[in-house]
Amino acid sequence: MVLCFFEELSNAEAADILEVSVGALEQLLVRARRSLRVSLAGMMD
């Protein structure tokens, strides 16, 4: 998430740096967002 959002890299650029396919990166981003959402929700309770 850091590479795509804070460093403002495209998914393709981030995938290249991480040496994964764009599809794999997109799945990693989905999981990271879900994990962050759950963590933040737990803090709000």
5-34 tens-digit pLDDT:
788 999 999 999 999 999 999 999 999 999
Instruction: State yes or no: pLDDT of 44 exceeds 90.
Output: no
Parent domain of 15 = 2-44
Roughly how many angstroms between the first and final C-alpha of the chain, as a whole number? Answer: 25
Region at 13 (left for phi over 0; alpha for psi -120 to 50; beta for the rest): alpha
Total-model pTM: 0.78
Number of domains in the chain: 1
CA–CA separation, 43 and 18 (whole Å):
30
Q: Return the pLDDT at 45.
A: 72
